Structure 1
């Protein structure tokens, strides 16, 4: 159900975040994020001159390459549109994220490596949806493949579902975990 009918208002700004997940031929995964900020009015920018209505103020990309273990193997960042001419100089710093694991504590580690003057607020924000997209891309495929090859998994202990306790729906004592990952269900049995 959509939101309720709003009060009378004027549209001023649109932020769009798009993320896509890809399985590579080499077995790794590419997760790409794109963020744009667009105004409904034109304005003058010191570095870019006149920015007309509809032209992005921010248009930034990031590609994170991870393995099945969600450890970052490579990062590429690009700034197609930025408010200052110096912004794109920081893009190579995102290689400092190599070695981090997508999961708990990621935001703090990103701030430590690319926070403040060592990074871009917009690219750092984009890493949240990128990480979520990685989970949405990778885990369903690995789960499906695991079910298709059960004999390989019969001798291994069940792998913890990394989504457990990440939100209300995935709480360890909830109906979804009881149904999907019963080995890790902590509610009444």
Structure 2
């Protein structure tokens, strides 16, 4: 269901974030993000003069190359447009993420390494959706491959391993119906694990 109709209003600012995930031929994964900020009116920018409506105030790119464990192997950060000419000079600092796994503690580590004056606010913000995109790209492909391998070997598809999604969101709470139905070995609720979820 979409948002309810708004009050009368006029557009002022638009931020667009597009994230895409790719499987590489060498077995790694590329996760790319593109961020743009535009205004609906002309205005002056410190080092660029007048920007017309729709001209990008910010236009930035990130590419994370990760392995199956979501460990960052390479990173490329690019600032194509920004209010100040020197904004892009901070992009080499993003190399600090190489070797960092995307998972618990990712956001905290990113802020420690690149927060405040150590990074670019907009590129750091882009790392959040990129991390989610990495997970959404890689997890389903690997889970499907593990399930097919287990079936071919006559084993339980879960393989007895703790589900990666467990407790990552309210829907995957260990005491909830989804876990009770799909991963009864990890169910911690009050209903019997074998009971059919409604």
Normalising by structure 1, we get a TM-score of 0.94
Partner of 1:174: 176
Q: May I ask how many residue pairs the two structures share in their alignment?
A: 189
Partner of 1:125: 125
Q: CA RMSD in A?
A: 1.7
Conservation of the 8 A alpha-carbon contact between 1:146 and 1:153: no
Going from structure 1 to structure 2, the CA distance change for 1:32 and 1:152 (only over 3 Å counts) comes to farther
Using the alignment, how far apart are the partners of 1:78 and 1:68 within structure 2?
25
Following TM superposition, by how much is the alpha carbon of 1:181 offset from its aligned partner in structure 2, in angstroms? 2.9
In terms of mean alpha carbon deviation, does 152-161 or 129-138 score higher?
A: 152-161
Partner of 2:143: 143
* Mapping 1:1-189, distance limit 5 Å: 1-150=1-150, 151=152, 154=155, 158-187=160-189, 188=191, 189=193
Going from structure 1 to structure 2, the CA distance change for 1:172 and 1:57 (only over 3 Å counts) comes to same
Using the alignment, how far apart are the partners of 2:31 and 2:153 within structure 1?
28
Using the alignment, how far apart are the partners of 1:153 and 1:61 within structure 2?
45
Going from structure 1 to structure 2, the CA distance change for 1:4 and 1:48 (only over 3 Å counts) comes to same
Q: Deviations over 1:27-86 (max 9, x none)?
A: 111100111111001101111111111011111110011111111111110011111111
5+ long unaligned stretches in structure 2: 194-198
Conservation of the 8 A alpha-carbon contact between 1:177 and 1:185: yes
Larger Rg, first or second structure (1 or 2): 2
5+ long unaligned stretches in structure 1: none
